[in-house]
Amino acid sequence: MIDDRSRRTISLFGRRGYYLTRSPVHLRDVVVSDALPRVHLVTPAIVDETIARHGAHGVRGVLTDAEVATFDAFPAERRRRDWLAGRVAAKRALRAAVRERGQPVPDYRGIELWNDGDGAPRFIMTRMPELGDHLDISLSHTDGAAVASVADRHASGTVGVDIETTRALPMALVGRLLQPSEVARLADGPHPAPIVMWTVKEAVMKAAHAVCTALRDVELTWSGARVVHARVVDDARRAIVVRHRSVGPYTVAVALCR
């Protein structure tokens, strides 16, 4: 289990938490020295703590006026909870990225997020609007928890993350998302769990959203049950690196696309 009391921030990369990978990864002729960007995970308890630290302001201490309007418009409490977790994770990830660049860190309300026409997250920082052109962000949420990751799109490429509550998925369900080559490979020996295949495909599809719009367009290969590689079908130009890990009750994946 994840002990929320011991960590105010759970980071899948860095000294505050877990790593998906630490090894340099070669993307054909591109070397990503840090392998993959940091992935920030917030549990429901961390979301509650973040809101509580803003006292009487509540969510209005974390969200901009436009974001509050979106939050209030959701009729279902579960949808509101998941959406809020995604915003908290995203703003934590963006604040960390700014800190690592040696720039002044904005408060939560100094960052506004929205979704573009394709559903991808976009952001603006009131004092550094130019960062919206340089930093790529991805987020995902499930059952009140969320992950987010930020990458320098010019230096590293575009990023995609996904989080799912770990559970047994029927292979028949995931099978509808597999290429014939993937189905054939299932009989060759150990393979990733269906929930891992689903999560990895989601992360890669988000990272490669410019050329990939369906999970079936992501083809996976694997070495045993843990090491997974991915490519976008019919697009040999894209170099993709992806990692996954179980963290507490969650399965998390992060991908970079160049």
Q: Which amino acid is residue 142, in one-letter code? A: T
Residue 16 has pLDDT above 90, yes or no: no
**Average per-residue pLDDT for the chain:** 86
**Average confidence (pLDDT) over 128-149:** 94
pLDDT for 208? 95
240 — pLDDT class (breaks 50, 70, 90): very high
d(CA 134, CA 16): 25
Q: How far apart are CA 87 and CA 152, in angstroms?
A: 19
Question: pTM for the complete prediction?
Answer: 0.86
pLDDT tens-digit readout, 214-239? 999 999 999 988 889 999 998 888 89
What is the C-alpha to C-alpha distance for residues 145 and 92, in angstroms, rounded to an integer?
A: 13
Structure tokens at 171: 């292979």
Question: How far from 63 is each of 51, 90, 91, CA to CA, in Å?
Answer: 10, 12, 10
Helix/strand/coil (H/E/C) assignment for every residue in 8-70: CCEECCCCCCCCCCCCCEEECCEEECCCCCCEEEECHHHHHHHHHCCHHHHHHHCCCHHHHHH
- pLDDT above 60 (res 46): yes
3-state secondary structure of 46: helix
Note whether 20 and 254 are within 8 A (CB): yes
Say which CATH architecture domain 4-257 belongs to: Alpha-Beta Complex (3.90)
Q: Tell me the percentage of the chain whose pLDDT exceeds 90.
A: 71
pLDDT at residue number 127: 87
- What is the maximum span of the chain, computed from C-alpha positions, in angstroms? 58
Q: Are strands 39-42 and 111-115 parallel, antiparallel or unpaired?
A: unpaired
Residue 161 has pLDDT above 70, yes or no: yes
- The proportion of the chain whose per-residue pLDDT surpasses 70, expressed as a percent, equals 86
Identify the weakest region by mean pLDDT among 35-39, 122-126, 186-190.
35-39
pLDDT in the model for residue 218: 96
- Among the residue ranges 14-28, 95-109, 153-167, 194-208, the one predicted with the least confidence is 14-28
On the CB side of 180, CA atoms within 13 Å amount to: 0
- 121: its two tokens: 């997250």
Report yes or no: 82 and 105 within 8 Å, Cβ to Cβ.
no
What pLDDT is recorded for position 35?
Answer: 58
**What is d(CA 60, CA 54) in angstroms, rounded to the nearest whole number?**
8
The C-alpha atoms of residue 73 and residue 192 are separated, in whole angstroms, by 39
Q: Does residue 135 have a pLDDT over 60?
A: yes
pLDDT at 14 over 70: no
